[in-house]
């Protein structure tokens, strides 16, 4: 099971995106778990779970450098495209996350 976790400020709209991504993964029988959390608890989440991809909400893209520096050597980190996020295009976001995981694995 691959874990694709989304992080943003409070997790409201990101929770909707994570649920839609989970629905897409389930509809394609992909072994992927999508969940959303506040970036304020990222350390706790990462200590308890092995993540396969960290997605950052566009509204908190200012955190990318810090999160990538701290976790990017073990896990791909990316900012969700603002257009995909605004349109709630969960399929596009999930596809981009899968591409990132594959690229990271082939490093």
* Percentages (nearest 5) of helix, strand, coil residues in the chain: 55, 20, 25
The answer for residues whose C-beta is within 8 angstroms of residue 98's C-beta and 6 or more apart is none
pTM comes to 0.95
Contact 48, 66 (CB under 8 A): no
Per residue in 30-39, pLDDT tens? Answer: 999 999 999 9
Burial of 7 (0-12, 13-18, 19+ CB in 10 A): buried
The residues that are catalytic are 8
Per residue in 78-106, pLDDT tens? Answer: 999 999 999 999 999 999 999 999 999 88
Q: How confident is the model at residue 12 (pLDDT cuts 50, 70, 90)?
A: confident
- Please, what are the domains in the chain? 2-105 (3.40.50.2300)
């Amino acid at each position: 099971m691959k874990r694709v976790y989304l992080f943003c400020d409070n997790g409201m709209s990101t929770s909707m995106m994570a649920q839609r991504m989970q629905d897409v993964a389930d509809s394609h029988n992909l072994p992927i778990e999508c969940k959303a959390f506040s970036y304020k608890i990222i350390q706790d989440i990462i200590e308890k779970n092995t993540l396969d991809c960290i997605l950052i909400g566009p509204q908190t893209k200012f955190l990318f450098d810090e999160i990538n520096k701290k976790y990017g050597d073990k896990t791909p980190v990316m900012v969700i495209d603002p257009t995909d996020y605004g349109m709630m295009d969960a399929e596009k976001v999930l596809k981009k996350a899968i591409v990132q995981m594959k690229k990271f694995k082939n490093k």
